[in-house]
Amino acid sequence: MTFLELVEQVKACFAPLDISPLEGEFGVTTNSERKVQQVGYATNLSRAVADRAIALGLDALITHHDAWDFLYESREAVYQALRSHQISHCFVHAPLDAAPFGTTVALAKLLSLRVVGEFAEYEGFMCGRICTPENTLSFDELAARLSAATGAGIRVWKNHDRAVGQVGITTGGGSMTDLVREASGLGCDTYITGESNLYMAQYAIERGVNLLIGTHTHTEFPGVESLCSKLQSTCPVEFVPLQEQDVETGTLILSG
């Protein structure tokens, strides 16, 4: 099949929503116009991902993120690497966060949590989910599930001693105090996302909301995998997962 035929199948996964005119949220960045047989998928369009696709001789890439403009010269370098090796690429951002098979729902399933509601509006999409455990669940057990699901270094703030009741999940960059406030107001005693900052951590402590941070890249990868699983049933191509290095947690440097 051609790459543009593959893109049409991507769009069909989100029907009846038409995602084609969504500036910055869905798009094709490169199209080599050659037949597609092997398609790699990852959370990010980075040089490391592009280099892996080149090494494997892939025909195309599907990612959650574009190489955003705030990456400056790195953005064009990635595009040029793909063009020079005739690798096509498309990305699906907010629509995948909000989809019933997307990033947040896919992570909730891996954590064995049941979705009971939505929150966290972004660009007209409800990207967050309110979830409950099927059975009594401790915070430590939930943290272990997140670690296993992401395969990355996670960070935890245990801000109460009760069993987990309701969990708010916004995968990726949900590091805003307003999202913690919204989730807490909807009855969540635990909040899961991919990134944190000083103010969100302070606010969660004061609200008594547990925090679990599983990295931006690795909380969203299950959603990209879920999309490609749907595509597998309609597209005569091979989908290849491109696992990314855990660059977000870094290396702990001890003082003293």
Note whether 159 and 188 are same-domain residues: yes
Confidence of residue 255 (pLDDT cuts 50, 70, 90): low
- Find, among 98, 96, 92, 93, the residue nearest to 121 by Cα: 98
Note whether 72 and 139 are same-domain residues: no
Range from 20-24, 132-136, 169-173 carrying the lowest mean pLDDT = 20-24
Per-residue model confidence (pLDDT) at position 8: 96
Distances (CA, A) of 141 to 130, 136, 166, 205: 18, 10, 14, 20
**Does some domain include residue 159?**
yes
- Across 238-253, average pLDDT: 88
- Structural domain including 133 reads 97-218
User: β-strands 113-122, 125-133: how paired?
Assistant: antiparallel
Provide the number of structural domains found in the chain.
2
Note whether 101 and 65 are same-domain residues: no
Per-residue model confidence (pLDDT) at position 254: 65
User: β-strands 155-157, 125-133: how paired?
Assistant: unpaired
Per-residue model confidence (pLDDT) at position 243: 86
**Integer Cα distance of 102 and 127 in angstroms:** 9
Share of the chain above pLDDT 90, in %: 91
**Does some domain include residue 249?**
no
Note whether 120 and 85 are same-domain residues: no
Note whether 185 and 141 are same-domain residues: yes
Note whether 104 and 201 are same-domain residues: yes
**Does some domain include residue 53?**
yes
Confidence of residue 21 (pLDDT cuts 50, 70, 90): confident
Distances (CA, A) of 60 to 1, 186, 221: 12, 41, 17
Yes or no: say if 185 and 166 are a contact pair by the CB < 8 Å rule. no
- Which CATH number do you get for residue 235? 3.40.1390.30
Residue where a domain stops, chosen among 185, 203, 218: 218
> In terms of pTM, does the model score above 0.75?
yes
Cβ-based neighbour number of residue 32 at 10 Å: 17
Note whether 84 and 174 are same-domain residues: no
Note whether 64 and 111 are same-domain residues: no
**Does some domain include residue 23?**
yes
Q: Is the peptide bond before 16 cis (omega within 30 degrees of 0)?
A: yes
Q: Is the pLDDT of residue 49 over 60?
A: yes
**Integer Cα distance of 231 and 247 in angstroms:** 29
Note whether 81 and 43 are same-domain residues: yes
Note whether 131 and 165 are same-domain residues: yes
Which structure tokens are listed for 166?
A: 């309701």
Confidence of residue 249 (pLDDT cuts 50, 70, 90): confident
Per-residue model confidence (pLDDT) at position 252: 64
Note whether 145 and 189 are same-domain residues: yes
